Structure 1
């Protein structure tokens, strides 16, 4: 994947997207959008579940080097901000260490009585844990360097939060003077009730988090409409290719089947890269366009499967900008053959290999970005339809491609459906699972949530950072861009769905159970983002998690409860340590240097013990200890 992305970046930088001139030198004010997010950019709306509606005026969002500001139209559909929003503010001269600000390595400090930053839930009066960091990408430009506050657990939906900064200090230890009108009188009462006095307050403001409907309502409308049209029938499908392998050709896979599933399209036009959700005039929920989306799929039937021993059924979610053929990877084939799984995969349209040119081009004009989460939501429906045709009467089991020579089905429909995904398949898989009706257990491999946290902490983002630097070179604008993107990305990744993944299920949806496999020191998906997800969904942690000396955290895996005994029947987080990678940078930088060791991103899925744990969980719902009472492996 990494080599492919480098190639994409080279193509884009040298031809596909014209190079642009750097912004003229000179000082200019830091963005008027700060602090971000803020209810200054909302208006009252009685029809909204939150009572608010986002309202960015035309021309208010960051502009690219051609002077074209991001079009706010899609953002202004929102009824609040992301539950995982980066909270951004510019505090000239602030020193996080001298101020005692909680870093990612000591999240518990954020709840100290005298913590210099308070993140207050106004509904409960409780403080929310976080970590904060100065933007490391702007270290050489202190006048553009923002302080980034990151919630350590998803913020409650449809809830107003107050952010208070107080007693901030510079590198000499001197208290930084507050700007004029640093604290609204409207917030003083709420601050007082939470025990937060106004003494030495530098700045205070509030913002509203989007509602459940604002985050998930579009895809739920699409799901429910699509399946209502389907009724009890299996989705239509077409088999385009069947390949039988000899043992010499493939010792693990006996047959590969390719084809398409017919899915109602909720996208404009043919639904390809750049397409948008199809909305009725004046409506905020998508409707079917009348066209059919042919969702391509690939399935592998492993050796050892027979009518007497039919294959367990599982969807598989591929990685970043990849394709369904990732099921041909050796580790996926090995698990399929060892435990008798038929894995079927379709594309995460919006972030698949076919989207690479479009996604690369988005970074030159971010007004085009809404197509990415729009197509991701159509992709969720595509996955759900593929899953239904795998288990439904009249589905795959009726086709000769999934039968033996006597016409007997090779599929274990009675055993139900499961999900396994890695990397992007772990990230998007959390959202997909939260809306799934045909399965209740998922394995999320090397997962996380919240791309605004993940991107700059990932080596995979480096080529796209170059494109961002070309088109939106202002470092303060870049952090605002990540916050803006997250507002829409929530619709297409786990961050917008996590609060309903393992409890408080979405309407018409069962409760789900997930097993998270995290790679310690992962270079591509930040383990910090996986911890935020684990806290949000209530996953319990395998302990001992790491051998002594490996973690750089004051309290390793703060706020995540331990699994008390095995077998365990809840949702779980298991950390796999390759023994060669080291803790990543404690700020928004990727672990790209040799001091961080080789990338362990693919380590968990390749371990025989991890595959045993995954298979046991998917088939029985039990999490078993495969690490002999110690750290894994």
Structure 2
């Protein structure tokens, strides 16, 4: 969505946001003992992050740990309101896409030799100054490190360490910082607390003894991997949430809803049918609107904005008694379907938009050119009506769980719409989806497809992973995760103003974004990426230099899901990277077609995006190519062939794929 649209919506939302009340939370599964700030970094609570210091043993979870944030350790906004930790403390570990955050005053990452975005391979060098170690497998993990370029106070500048591929669900990681230098090349001092913890065994009564005991296994693992204590300036460890913890909420409501549905079609009501003459619309013959009935799992009847999941005493999502959702839908049936039945596909709309995006010109072109009927429902939780909640959550993190949890109900709504599209007694049996003489306009024999753009790609991977009906999906101008994306997106600028007021300190902003991600995982692709392609195939379409969805985050997704890069991806010299698209396996154009998941990069000639955690804004970054791939006939041909056959075909010959800039 364009920034000017967002500014207008925000103006109306800001006043409404102040009226929102925090949602009611269920009690944690068990009381969390209070634990103060990590003594390794007492200057700023939660640092370093993520950090097992803020977990406790729990034999009932898959990781045998549970996040145990106390209200006192969570950063409060300027209002002074305490942050309710309940939603976070349901997790048995941290986000698989967590950005690691540390505060190292005086650090110069370039002089230190920390691996930058342009040379990720350097992160695995034997003498790399930052080491990420998967202690579960004993292997080193790739990353890039950068200072927070948004910081206004050098003494409060965060060191950000981004995994180049998502951490593995349920695994344990140790982090080591060593040989850190200032801009003059001088070694930085070892913090006193860490020197004591990493040194000789402390007496039992020493105030740092508990921290020493907790860190000892991680230090042993690092030594075993060749990272000695000599020169070590900081180390800590963390556990990644298990698959069940990450996906359990969505899969629980999905399984319960489809169990209740059985072999029936979801209930629906058609509310509008509009037939177009060819003069009115040469591509679309009929538009159908209506409502799907879905079991409601949100805390308020009807699930309005601000609702969270209804949970039982153990925190498990449960259907709100007697509650149903009615999800509006809109379908665009191509004119060709009146000759040959069309293939049904769900469409996922963009940032804080609505189902009406299915009527966009590029979607109509795809429908007409390739015989698809696209249907969409509002992605509630991240739809236009949710803007006041999103704004309010930036100012009060206690409100934030309503964003991903309502999104999960939105995903269920889309899954039910998809089932109705392919069920023989579903939409295809209704006169609205038949010709005047009763012939079907939908061919339900070939299953269901998914095509989403921007937010529809970022959330769409989770939908594809959760769907019992979708086999293949296209994720257009996509990436993951929001905790990585927001600093790098031009779309976030108006929302950044709200965050700046609530959390003026940039170091705390970084912590807040990563806290958001821990609960956002459950409602976007990040939590599902490690297993997305176990049973599904996805095609990622990326716009090089995208102003709204950062290419760096798309590359993380491709590495995580095992997508192959259609090559050549860029013209020689176009990428600033030492090894362009490091860690993403290639498939040469002359080896296509390829069966499996893949990523195609579309280049409109836009300048390379910033190499820092800042958005590509201003004249220097030229045209925003965000909408160019979907408006390319060649890109639509590749999408359609993939969705119908599972083959990634060559549509660009032996040269990189290019897209014509759109206005």
Q: Deviations over 1:105-158 (max 9, x none)?
A: 1111100111000010001100100011111110x3012111011101010111
599, 620, 636: which one pairs with 1:611? 636
Query: What is the SS of the residue equivalent to 1:489?
Result: helix
Within 5 Å, give how 1:517-536 maps onto structure 2: 517-536=541-560
In the superposition, the TM-score normalised over structure 2's length comes to: 0.91
Which segment drifts farther, 309-318 or 180-189?
A: 180-189
1:535 and 1:500 map into 2 onto residues whose CA distance is 12
1:258 and 1:122 map into 2 onto residues whose CA distance is 53
94, 112, 120: which one pairs with 2:125? 112
Shift of 1:501: 0.6
Query: What is the SS of the residue equivalent to 1:626?
Result: coil
Q: Is 1:350 aligned to residue 370 of structure 2?
A: no
Q: Deviations over 1:353-408 (max 9, x none)?
A: 11112212222211100000110111111111000000002101111000001112
- Structure-2 residue corresponding to 1:566: 592
Shift of 1:520: 0.1
What is the aligned residue count?
614
1:211 and 1:289 map into 2 onto residues whose CA distance is 29
- Structure-2 residue corresponding to 1:273: 305
Which segment drifts farther, 28-37 or 45-54?
A: 28-37
- Structure-1 residue corresponding to 2:650: 625
Shift of 1:93: 0.2
1:185 and 1:358 map into 2 onto residues whose CA distance is 43
Shift of 1:68: 1.1
Shift of 1:7: 1.5
Within 5 Å, give how 1:412-423 maps onto structure 2: 412-423=443-454
Query: What is the SS of the residue equivalent to 2:71?
Result: coil
- Structure-1 residue corresponding to 2:8: 7
- Identify if the C-alpha distance between structure 1 residues 59 and 292 changes in structure 2 by more than 3 Å, giving closer, same or farther: same
Q: Deviations over 1:402-448 (max 9, x none)?
A: 00011121110112110000000011011111111112110000010
* Contact 1:86–1:149 (Cα < 8 Å) also in 2: yes
604, 610, 630: which one pairs with 1:578? 604
Q: Is 1:200 aligned to residue 231 of structure 2?
A: yes
311, 327, 333: which one pairs with 1:295? 327
* Contact 1:85–1:483 (Cα < 8 Å) also in 2: yes
Shift of 1:333: 0.4
Q: Deviations over 1:75-109 (max 9, x none)?
A: 11111000001100000100000000111111111
86, 94, 102: which one pairs with 1:89? 102
2:172 and 2:108 map into 1 onto residues whose CA distance is 28
Within 5 Å, give how 1:122-521 maps onto structure 2: 122-138=135-151, 140-182=152-194, 183=198, 184-269=215-300, 270-306=302-338, 309-503=340-534, 511-521=535-545
Shift of 1:517: 0.3
- Structure-2 residue corresponding to 1:506: none
* Contact 2:274–2:288 (Cα < 8 Å) also in 1: yes
- Structure-1 residue corresponding to 2:565: 541
1:289 and 1:153 map into 2 onto residues whose CA distance is 41
* Contact 2:10–2:387 (Cα < 8 Å) also in 1: no
601, 622, 626: which one pairs with 2:626? 601
Query: What is the SS of the residue equivalent to 1:542?
Result: strand
User: Structure 1 regions of 5+ residues with no counterpart?
Assistant: 19-27, 504-510
Q: Deviations over 1:566-585 (max 9, x none)?
A: 11001100000001x11111
Shift of 1:17: 4.9
1:185 and 1:413 map into 2 onto residues whose CA distance is 58
1:598 and 1:386 map into 2 onto residues whose CA distance is 36
1:60 and 1:287 map into 2 onto residues whose CA distance is 33
- Structure-2 residue corresponding to 1:508: none
Query: What is the SS of the residue equivalent to 1:491?
Result: helix
Query: What is the SS of the residue equivalent to 1:189?
Result: helix
2:321 and 2:452 map into 1 onto residues whose CA distance is 29
* Contact 1:280–1:287 (Cα < 8 Å) also in 2: no
Within 5 Å, give how 1:48-87 maps onto structure 2: 48-87=61-100
* Contact 1:278–1:288 (Cα < 8 Å) also in 2: yes
Shift of 1:563: 1.0
Shift of 1:629: 1.4
1:29 and 1:50 map into 2 onto residues whose CA distance is 27
Query: What is the SS of the residue equivalent to 1:232?
Result: coil
Q: Deviations over 1:527-549 (max 9, x none)?
A: 11110010011100011111122
Q: Deviations over 1:268-300 (max 9, x none)?
A: 112011001010123334344431100110001
User: Structure 2 regions of 5+ residues with no counterpart?
Assistant: 20-40, 199-214, 659-663
- Identify if the C-alpha distance between structure 1 residues 53 and 16 changes in structure 2 by more than 3 Å, giving closer, same or farther: closer
- Structure-2 residue corresponding to 1:24: none
Query: What is the SS of the residue equivalent to 2:464?
Result: helix
Q: Deviations over 1:30-74 (max 9, x none)?
A: 421100111110011010111001011122211111111321111
In the superposition, the TM-score normalised over structure 1's length comes to: 0.95
- Structure-1 residue corresponding to 2:27: none
2:222 and 2:103 map into 1 onto residues whose CA distance is 21
2:450 and 2:317 map into 1 onto residues whose CA distance is 27
1:514 and 1:135 map into 2 onto residues whose CA distance is 32
* Contact 1:402–1:409 (Cα < 8 Å) also in 2: yes
Query: What is the SS of the residue equivalent to 2:362?
Result: helix
